[in-house]
């Protein structure tokens, strides 16, 4: 006769007995309610971990009207780039606050359906990453079906909740750095203008140069991929228009551009200075290492989750926008002309 490897799952009463507290105290801890000292709360959580106790989610929802689940909806993202890292980061920060993170993908045409599906899953809140989405606040407010929602994008035209890096300031940092070094002929490989970031980067480059009586040199858009940077740089070089500096939309695109420049026998930074955006890991390992505008994406990931949890806890709070400020990291891909 065989033996069973299964064992009885611990109950809330087992936790209470082992921790030496009441059933009601454990319930308060599980549902994140007040009325329990921090010492007792830590003790109960420790016992729950030791017993491998898992609260009954259905019972919790009946008690708290919350599912303890968030959803990340990704919309119309062509090139993922570092999306996997951001997804992992947001799942981690959600878990730190006892939430699970679901991930789904949709398109602009199906956004309403995606939000409807999220509502049917009874999620407590949504992080929307939709870098191409242009939608009126009133329409998005209607589609979200009263579910707390935070956009993880820089969308200064929106008065709804969003968390993003200031793309205008970021671009100004890059352009003014080159101007300070004496560059006046500046080419660019911005992200596609279909993306919010691409629109702001491209328009800001032109505006900052115009402030100095200059115009932007040859330009070709990329899609964030290394290949697009390579192909865009070849397109710029084929115009035979002179330039002493090149602004690339991401470190990855800059990596492709560096290859194209080297193939044409151009030296960096002796012949062309290159500045990019992100300060990803590869920026330190290109030849030469890249001068780049740093976006600390992990801060954006954390803030998006924390802001969403604030809205969930305070449903009547006034929505606002949280703008993160980047910084310039100087390396060896730019040089002074003076």
For 183-232, what is each residue's pLDDT tens digit? Answer: 999 999 999 999 999 999 999 999 999 999 999 999 999 999 999 999 99
pLDDT reported for residue 30: 75
- Could you check whether 69-165+297-327 and 167-295 share the same CATH topology? yes
Beta-ladder partners of 291: 275
Residue 238 reports pLDDT greater than 80: yes
- pTM comes to 0.80
pLDDT reported for residue 23: 79
- What are phi and psi for residue 334, nearest 5 degrees? -125, 150
Domain spans in the chain, listed from the N-terminal domain onward: 12-64, 69-165+297-327, 167-295
Residues constituting the chain: 338
Higher pLDDT, 145 or 63: 145
pLDDT reported for residue 62: 47
Average pLDDT, the chain: 90
The β-bridge relationship of strands 100-106 and 125-129 is unpaired
| Average pLDDT estimate for 123-141 | 95
Residue 334 reports pLDDT greater than 50: yes
Residues 215, 219, 222, 224, CA torsion sign: negative
pLDDT reported for residue 33: 74
Residue 64 reports pLDDT greater than 60: no
For 79-92, what is each residue's pLDDT tens digit? Answer: 667 788 999 999 99
Q: Is CATH 3.30.70.2190 the right assignment for the domain spanning 69-165+297-327?
A: no
Contact 84, 139 (CB under 8 A): no
| Average pLDDT estimate for 35-47 | 88
Q: Which DSSP string corresponds to 230-281?
A: HHHHHHHHHTT---SEEEESSHHHHHHHHHHHHHTT--TTTT-EEEEEE--G
Q: How many CB atoms lie within 10 A of CB 12?
A: 18
Q: Which of 52-56, 114-118, 183-187 has the highest mean pLDDT?
A: 183-187
For the structural domain made of 12-64, what CATH number should be given? 1.10.260.40
- What are phi and psi for residue 104, nearest 5 degrees? -135, 160
| Average pLDDT estimate for 235-264 | 97
Q: What region does 65 belong to: left with phi over 0, alpha with psi -120 to 50, or beta?
A: left
- Options 3.40.50.11440, 3.40.50.2300, 3.30.70.100, 3.40.50.300; CATH of 167-295: 3.40.50.2300
pLDDT reported for residue 82: 79
């Amino acid at each position: 006769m065989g033996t069973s490897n299964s064992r009885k799952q611990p109950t809330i009463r087992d936790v209470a007995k082992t921790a030496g507290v009441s059933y009601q105290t454990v319930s308060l801890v599980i549902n994140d309610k007040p009325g329990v000292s921090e010492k007792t709360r830590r003790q109960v959580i420790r016992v729950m971990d030791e017993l491998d106790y898992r609260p009954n989610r259905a019972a919790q929802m009946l008690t708290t009207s919350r599912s303890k689940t968030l959803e990340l909806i990704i919309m119309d993202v062509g090139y993922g780039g570092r999306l996997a890292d951001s997804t992992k980061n947001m799942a981690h920060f959600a878990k730190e606050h006892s939430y699970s993170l679901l991930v789904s993908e949709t398109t602009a045409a199906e956004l309403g359906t995606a939000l409807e599906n999220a509502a049917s899953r009874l999620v407590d809140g949504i992080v929307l990453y939709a870098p191409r989405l242009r939608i009126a606040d009133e329409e998005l407010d209607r589609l979200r079906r009263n579910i707390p929602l935070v956009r993880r994008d820089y969308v200064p035209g929106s008065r709804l909740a969003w968390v993003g890096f200031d793309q205008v300031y970021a671009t100004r940092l890059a352009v003014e750095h080159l101007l300070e070094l004496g560059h006046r002929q500046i080419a660019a490989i911005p992200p596609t203008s279909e993306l919010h970031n691409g629109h702001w980067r491209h328009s800001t480059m032109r505006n900052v140069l115009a402030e100095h009586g200059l115009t932007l040199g040859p330009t070709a858009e990329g899609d964030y991929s290394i290949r697009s940077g390579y192909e865009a740089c070849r397109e710029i070089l084929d115009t035979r228009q002179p330039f002493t500096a090149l602004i690339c939309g991401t470190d990855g695109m800059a990596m492709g551009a560096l290859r194209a420049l080297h193939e044409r026998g151009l030296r960096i930074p002796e012949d062309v200075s290159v500045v990019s955006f992100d300060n990803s890991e590869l920026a330190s390992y290109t030849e030469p290492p890249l001068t780049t505008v740093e976006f600390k994406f992990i801060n954006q990931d954390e803030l998006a989750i924390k802001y969403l949890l604030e809205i969930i806890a305070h449903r009547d709070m006034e929505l606002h926008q949280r703008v993160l400020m980047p910084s310039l990291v100087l390396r060896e891909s730019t040089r002074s002309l003076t």
